[in-house]
Amino acid sequence: MPSLLPALQLTRSVLLSLRSLLPLLPSPAYSSPCPAAGASVGQHSRHLLQHIALPLGACENPEDGRALEYDARGRGEPAETCPAACAARIDALLSSLSSLSPPSSSSPVGVSFSLCADPAASPAAFESTLGREVAFGAHHALHHLAMIRVIAEGPVGGLRGRLPEGFGKAPATRQFEAGKGDPKVAAAASTRRTPTLSLSEMEERVRELEEENERLRRRP
């Protein structure tokens, strides 16, 4: 039986990646829309956290039986405009992950989401599994991390060159660049790739960034 652990591990990695960005990004830049991307770091963060939280909540209560309604998500939540609120939301999800007793990845769950822009159209309903939805949430979040990187490293965030090489990259992309694809591409990537951090190293990096951010705030 397939294990749910790989999907949960990717989820944790995504959350830690976003968490590590927050102390680096100036607060005004968090909620400032990027003209090129059409949204802010905060909007992308709120969206990806909602897509992670929904299937994770189903894992905590696998006998609930309620369908995952991906369109029933709030906009304008505090995590969308306030980095501290986003950090608190991430910490709560990380805490849930740490205490979770993973159910079977093949546990059935219903999902629904809109496939048509017509306001009168009903959401489409599908049958899925918890494993598939947790993996989808994490993989979907990676694409939003990629957009967050574009915003954070551009004029809005001003963090060009300060984010890890793997920030916002899907596992398949990182495998390709590591040598499982075109050898020429892999060779070029190896010259610019920064070391990959373990989860414990990422958590330590988050603590260091928060301490540095606190020191900067206390300066006269």
Tens digits of pLDDT across the chain (220 residues): 568 899 999 999 999 999 999 999 888 899 998 887 789 999 999 999 999 999 999 999 887 778 899 888 778 789 999 999 999 999 999 999 999 988 888 999 999 999 988 988 888 999 999 999 999 999 999 999 999 999 999 998 888 888 888 888 888 888 887 876 555 555 555 554 444 445 555 556 556 555 655 554 555 4
What backbone phi and psi angles, to 5 degrees, belong to 62?
-65, -20
Q: Which pair of tokens denotes residue 126? A: 């599908």
CB-based contact 210:23 (threshold 8 Å): yes
DSSP class of 103: -
CATH of 5-164, one of 1.20.120.450, 3.40.50.720, 3.30.43.10, 3.30.465.10: 1.20.120.450
Task: Give the global pTM.
Answer: 0.77
What backbone phi and psi angles, to 5 degrees, belong to 4?
-85, -10
Which residue from 131, 213, 154 is spatially nearest to 34, judged by alpha carbons? 154
Instruction: Tell me how far apart the alpha carbons of residues 89 and 2 are, in angstroms, rounded to a whole number.
Output: 29
Domain boundaries, the chain: 5-164
| Three-state DSSP state, 69 | strand
